Amino acid sequence: MEAQLKLYNTLSRKKEVFQALNPPFVGLYVCGPTVYDEVHLGNLRQFTSFDIVYRYLSFLGYKVRYVRNITDVGHLSDDGDEGEDKIERKAKANKIEPMEIVQKYTNSFHHVAKLFNLIEPSIEPSATGHIVEQIEMVQRIIDNGYAYEVNGSVYFDVKKYLEKHDYGQLSGRKVEDLLEQTRDNLEGGDEKRFFADFGIWKAASPETIMKWNSPWGVGVPGWHLECSVMSTKYLGQEFDIHGGGMDLKFPHHECEIAQSVGADGKAPVRYWMHGNMLTVNGDKMSKSKGNAFLPMELFEGKHELLNKGFSPMVVRFFMLQTHYSSTLDFSNEALEASEKGYARLMNAYKLSATLPSSKQNTEETDKEILTLLDKLRLEMNDDFNTPKTIAVLFDLAALINKINDKSVFVSEAVLSKLQADMKSFVEDILGLHSETKDNNLAVDKLMELILEIRSSARENKDWPTSDKIRDHLAEAGIKIKDSKDGASWTMN
């Protein structure tokens, strides 16, 4: 395996990811969901990007410990530092226990993750399960002089930290800008000494439901703290890769660095990876704009912006057609194009298992295939470039079809390499599986046929037949929706 790792490091064009690793073991930490609501599509994209990182590093032979947390306390509104706990607010509104909210949305997150074929992390720790460790870390930061206590709350002392360290190294924020903002924003009566200071322990009010005893009184850990604690507890004080959405770079990840340096004198992460955001028809996806559909709404086509539903595997494939560091734009046209592309790729993949080999005239095709198989690795080594990897898979799909037509020929040895790599790259690395999709394809084709029959019945004003089809489908859990563009369907 050593040799193999060396080879991949040499092949890597963007070497920093691979050079950051500490073979053969790799620690990967990804900020998980705050379970106060259904997981949104932007989160799902981030988890998919790091699912690919996990899958590819495992394929290369690294032993990856993958930690993805569940935030079940401490995430306050907006930047995570002000206001009421998101979970608690929802629990109070519904008059139930915060842990009921946590359980409900953890379950539904796991359901979506399974549909999306995300590999389960090695450890999925929760913030409430690590209160003791969080209190200990706050104490270490205080002991080292990087935090101060006011009225039962503890704040990280950014000004003190700036004397020796760079707060802003990750996000590129400038100290001078922070100082500038301080003069504008420091209000009287604020417990913080400096506007950029952030809470690492918050005193609880009498109404707070989730709270714990600490040396500073009854309170709640700050949101940024849990990731510092859980990542280093399970991956060590210095670990390889920390991932998350771009929106977490500042303040969340910047604060994580400061906390670890403040507590243990070490910057925790060798390589940060940030995934980019989603847009819909070119607009930022947001609840207030009404264009933020949930994963299940996308799968079922239950949103006014969607012409129809798209299977989880099609959506996964669609996401992987854009590099994780670029913005991904959702539109009906783009999803429909991906649906066709996905079917084309999976058909070729299925076909690859049954191709004939030949004993002659194979030289040119063999060479072409081997070059493309090398290219698959080159593209993935290039900062996990899934769109280019998929493009190479399409080149291979074209060759597979030609071999099947017997217009070109492949030797037995190269064919078995091709078959093995198709499986590795399509199923193991990109995480696309054919079984469910094949069933869906069959259902899609059947429904197309049924809707066609129904539409011609309607053209002939044969209402009994049209109604019979609609009612029988409804009994089977399939709902037909008529609109001016024709009929569409959704399945329960």
Q: Which residues of the shown chain bind Zn ion in the complex (CB under 5 A)?
A: 31, 227
Name the residue nearer to Zn ion (CB basis): 30 or 348.
30
Nearer to Zn ion, 225 or 422 (CB): 225
CA distance 456 to 459: 5
Largest Cα–Cα distance of the chain, in whole Å? 85
Choose between 31 and 200: whose C-beta lies nearer to Zn ion.
31
Nearest distance, CB of residue 367 and Zn ion, angstroms: 47
Among residues 225 and 369, whose Cβ is nearest to Zn ion? 225
Nearer to Zn ion by C-beta: 46 or 389? 46
The CB-of-34 to Zn ion minimum distance in angstroms stands at 9
How far is it, in rounded angstroms, from Cα 170 to Cα 164? 16
Name the residue nearer to Zn ion (CB basis): 173 or 274. Answer: 274
CB of 477: closest distance to Zn ion in angstroms?
Answer: 39
- Give the other-Cβ count within 10 Å of 242's Cβ: 27
Tokens standing for 154? 């503890």
Contact indicator for 350, 337 with CB cutoff of 8 Å: no
For 32-154, where are the alpha helices, taking DSSP H only?
41-59, 86-94, 98-115, 131-143
Query: Smallest gap, in angstroms, from Cβ of residue 252 to Zn ion?
Result: 6
Q: At what angle do helices 223-235 and 131-143 cross, to 10 degrees?
A: 100
* Nearer to Zn ion (CB atom), residue 154 or residue 227: 227
**Contact criterion met (CB below 8 Å) for 221 and 206:** no
Which candidate, 155, 143, 128, places its Cα nearest to that of 34? 128
Tell me how far, at minimum, the Cβ of 71 lies from Zn ion, in Å: 7
Q: At what angle do helices 98-115 and 86-94 cross, to 10 degrees?
A: 110
Please give the helix or strand (H or E) that residue 6 lies within, else none. Answer: helix 2-11
Cβ proximity to Zn ion: between 72 and 421 the closer is: 72
Report which of 44, 98, 302, 331 is spatially closest to residue 207, judged by C-alpha positions. 98
By beta-carbon proximity to Zn ion, the closer residue of 170 and 227 is 227
Nearer to Zn ion, 160 or 253 (CB): 253
User: HSE-up of 211 (CA within 13 Å, CB side)?
Assistant: 16
Q: What is the rounded CA–CA span in Å between residue 384 and residue 390?
A: 11
Min CB(29)–Zn ion separation in Å: 8
For residue 250, what is the DSSP state?
I
Give the list of residues 6+ apart from residue 423 with CB closer than 8 angstroms, or none. Answer: none
- Measured in whole angstroms, the distance separating CA 210 from the mean position of its chain's CA atoms is 28
Provide the b/e sequence for 419-433 (b: ≥16 CB within 10 Å): bebbebbbeebbbbe
Q: Give CA–CA dist 253/237, Å, rounded.
A: 15
Q: Which is nearer to Zn ion, 242 or 316 (CB)?
A: 242
Whichever of 31 and 415 has its CB closer to Zn ion, that residue is 31
What's the closest the beta carbon of residue 68 comes to Zn ion, in angstroms?
Answer: 10
Residue with tokens 């993935």: 380
> How many residues make up the chain in this entry?
492
Nearest to 158 by CA among 259, 301, 233, 292: 259
End-to-end CA distance of the chain: 47
Tokens, residue 243: 């991932």
- Residue 256 Cβ, how far from Zn ion at the closest point, in Å? 7
The CB-of-120 to Zn ion minimum distance in angstroms stands at 18
Backbone φ and ψ of 482, nearest 5° = -95, 135
Hey, what are 257's tokens?
Answer: 């660095």
